[in-house]
């Protein structure tokens, strides 16, 4: 694998891994504050970030060894709204800046598996930002997120609020989705 794509995949792996843990922490705080559905959204999105990290790790199958990993990551604990805004901001950064640049490099270098992994992530991150905006709107209205179901596609990281026959990003059957 070309070193630029390898560096980018490791950076994306680091960012997704950190988001995975950050969302777990923020979800636990939301639950303590009585926002059960927002806590479930954080949990599902945390697991989606793990899906993305795993896709990136697997795309690095021919790369082994120890490497420094530089990645963008937000830190801090704020109010529920601030945590949701931080989560949304991270998702927007990934789909507007990080992944488009990384995909362009991987395409130029002919790294098809890397492109596939990052395309799944970029499309899922767009949906994550929408879901976080819905949660922000709910908090601004003094309510929890209205979501009877929160469903995660374990193949690409898509998150939906209703059952579907197949994932709009990767085509996985809705029957394999994980419920939160």
Mean per-residue pLDDT, 148-175: 97
Q: Taking residues 112-130, what's their average pLDDT?
A: 97
**CA 166/CA 70 separation, integer angstroms:** 35
pLDDT digits (tens, 9 = 90+) for 40-80: 999 999 999 999 999 999 999 887 777 777 776 777 889 99
User: What is the number of other CB atoms lying within 10 angstroms of the CB of residue 18?
Assistant: 19
Share of the chain above pLDDT 90, in %: 89
For the chain, which residues make up each domain, given as ranges?
3-146
Q: Which residue has the tokens 């109010």?
A: 79
Residues paired with residue 128 on neighbouring β-strands, in sequence order: none
Contact 155, 166 (CB under 8 A): no
The structure tokens listed for 2 are: 């070309």
Query: Which pLDDT value is given to residue 157?
Result: 98
CATH architecture, domain defined by 3-146: Up-down Bundle (1.20)
Q: Answer for the pair 87, 42: CB distance below 8 angstroms, yes or no.
A: yes
pLDDT of 120 > 90? The answer is yes
Query: Rg (Cα) of the chain, in Å, rounded?
Result: 16
Global confidence as pTM: 0.94
The label of the residue with tokens 């579907």 reads 164
Phi, psi of 160 (to 5 degrees): -125, 165
Per-residue pLDDT tens for 76-114?
889 999 999 999 999 999 999 999 999 999 999 999 999
Nearest by Cα to 5 from 54, 51, 56, 52: 56
Structure confidence by residue, pLDDT tens digits, 14-46: 999 999 999 999 999 999 999 999 999 999 999
pLDDT at 68: 73
């Amino acid at each position: 694998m070309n070193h630029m794509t390898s560096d980018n995949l490791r950076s994306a792996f680091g960012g997704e891994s950190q988001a995975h843990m950050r969302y777990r922490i923020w979800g636990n705080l939301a639950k303590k504050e009585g926002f059960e559905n927002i806590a479930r959204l954080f949990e599902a999105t945390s697991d989606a970030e793990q899906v993305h990290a795993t896709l990136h790790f697997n795309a690095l199958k021919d790369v082994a060894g120890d490497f420094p990993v530089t990645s963008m990551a937000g830190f801090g604990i704020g109010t529920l709204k601030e945590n949701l805004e931080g989560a949304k901001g991270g998702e927007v950064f990934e789909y507007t800046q990080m992944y488009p640049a990384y995909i362009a490099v991987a395409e130029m270098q002919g790294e098809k598996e890397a492109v596939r992994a990052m395309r799944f992530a970029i499309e899922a991150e767009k949906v994550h930002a929408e879901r976080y905006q819905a949660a922000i709107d709910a908090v601004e209205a003094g309510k929890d997120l209205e979501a009877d179901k929160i469903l995660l596609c374990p193949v690409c990281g898509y998150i939906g609020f209703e059952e579907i026959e197949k994932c709009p990003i990767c085509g996985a059957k809705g029957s394999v989705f994980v419920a939160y």
